[in-house]
Structure 1
Amino acid sequence: MDLVKVEIRYLDNVEWQQDLNLTTGAHVDVWRINIANHLSFIGELTKLLLPDEINRAGRYYQEKDRQRFVMSRGALRIILGRYLGQQPEDLRFDIGPNKKPFVKTTGATVNYNVSHSDEWVTIAVSKTGVGIDTEKIDRSFAYKEILADNFSEDEISFINQNNPEEKFILLWTRKEAITKLTSQGLDERLKDIPSLDGNHQINNKIINSSKEIKLITFKLDDNNLATLAYESEDQVAIRFYDIDLL
């Protein structure tokens, strides 16, 4: 049995900055975009999409869901285009192993992952594999119904302390971020995937990876949490950006 190290921590203070010196290297970049504040860009973002992406947007019944898709897809094209030195509308995407999407490029290696919840879209970009999950802290969600199937006894004890709804979302984003990083999906192994602060040694078959994984959780605002998961044996710089669509 091969063991994989998973290191998990919470980042209290995040400094969001404007994009400068966008290169892939020994760092991981996290981007956020507030959907409500950028609705005036929907028309311009739609022009960046390919016909199949526009068709996908049109299949959403709710207007807010269509807007979220256009916003996340358009922002992804703009961001990746800046790293790769390409026009956003020229980028082409494909599906890799375990149905994980990737951008086709003959230049620098760029891995990415996208998540959205409430009024936020988050995008992680790195040379190594990345996963990101964003969730709204929903005080009305019946979280207790899914604890036994998805969390260990220690995790359930942690959640059931004070402010359980936020603690549930905290741990849930961590499990989701790992599964998005490794493309394993939400299956019966979710209960055994670690989510508490600290260092963990996990069977590589459970984690679906042979590489060391690091997780960092942070707040987008008072009502939304996000967790970044990335592959690295060393601590690397995490850069946080607010996207500027102007």
Structure 2
Amino acid sequence: MELINDDKVKWIIATKNEAFDKNAINIFRININEYFNQISNVYNSNLSYTEIEKAFRFHKENDKKRYIASKYALRNILSEFLLIAPAKICFYNSENKKPTVSGIEFNVTHSKNYIIIGISPLKIGIDIEHIDHHFNYKDITFSCFSPEELKQMSKNNTSSGFYSIWTRKEAILKASGEGLIDNMNELNSLSSSITRKKIRYSLQSFKPDKEYAGCIAFEAQEISLNYWDYK
């Protein structure tokens, strides 16, 4: 079973005046360093005081850049859908302390060089991971993978195989609002459709770039998925 199929996803460059389909799920890929270099002199105009203050509490420069790039891109992308100025978008925390805005669903994930933002009219969860070939994943598989997932790993016992399954588990748990759970080994993520908390979700694995794995989970309905390279 091949979980990641490069042919499924075509990343389209989002132009400045792109008309995004608000009835579709739109997934945005952002190269952190490239994007931060573009906004380094202007991000103050869109971020809130709290966001700027938090950015400068990071000790590592890369963490600061990632945080600023993520918040700036999220505000700008949401403004295209909500028709509100980026600086005027108000976030509040849901019951599970997940940042939320009224009228739209979104989810954000990042790993190494990339941020991925998903915007949707439906509940979604998204996860990406950089494939670390030196990471010892075997202990995690035995404690966190279901029997079906372990069987799949026996056929593809590679770092890529591990991360392709792990991102599916993370994506579905983010979509359902559960977050990481104690009994992850009871969750079989290999199906293309999974029910959590009485809601059925569809899952689609994708590859953000070489040496990355990713997955998006969303409420199971007939809906288009658009993949954008956001500059």
Opposite residue 218 of structure 2, the aligned amino acid is: Y
Q: Does 1:194 align with 2:194?
A: no
Aligned to 1:73: 71
State the TM-score, normalized to the length of structure 1.
0.85
Counterpart-to-counterpart distance in 2, 1:199 and 1:74: 33
Opposite residue 214 of structure 1, the aligned amino acid is: S
- Kept after mapping to 1: 8 A contact 2:107/2:118: yes
Aligned to 1:4: none
Q: Does 1:160 align with 2:154?
A: yes
State the TM-score, normalized to the length of structure 2.
0.90
Aligned to 1:32: 29
Match of 2:10 among 1, 6, 15: 15
- Kept after mapping to 1: 8 A contact 2:148/2:188: no
Opposite residue 10 of structure 2, the aligned amino acid is: E
Unaligned runs of 5+ in 2: none
Unaligned runs of 5+ in 1: 1-7
In structure 2, the CA distance between the partners of 1:239 and 1:184, relative to structure 1 (3 Å rule), is same
- Kept after mapping to 1: 8 A contact 2:25/2:120: yes
Opposite residue 242 of structure 1, the aligned amino acid is: D
Counterpart-to-counterpart distance in 2, 1:121 and 1:12: 19
Please identify, of 118-127 and 234-243, the stretch whose mean Cα deviation from structure 2 is larger.
234-243
Over aligned residue pairs, what C-alpha RMSD do you find?
1.8
Aligned to 1:5: none
Counterpart-to-counterpart distance in 2, 1:129 and 1:199: 14
Provide the aligned length of Structure 1 versus Structure 2.
Answer: 225
Question: Residue 99 of structure 1: SS of its match in structure 2?
Answer: coil
In structure 2, the CA distance between the partners of 1:140 and 1:46, relative to structure 1 (3 Å rule), is farther
Structure 1 vs Structure 2: percent identity of aligned residues?
31
In structure 2, the CA distance between the partners of 1:128 and 1:199, relative to structure 1 (3 Å rule), is closer
Q: Does 1:235 align with 2:222?
A: yes
Counterpart-to-counterpart distance in 2, 1:78 and 1:236: 23
Deviations 1:30-77 (A, max 9, x none): 111011222312332243111111122122111101100100110000
Deviations 1:147-176 (A, max 9, x none): 122101221232233451111100000000
Q: Which has the higher strand share?
A: 1
Where relative contact order (Cα < 8 A, 6+ residues apart) is larger, the structure is 1
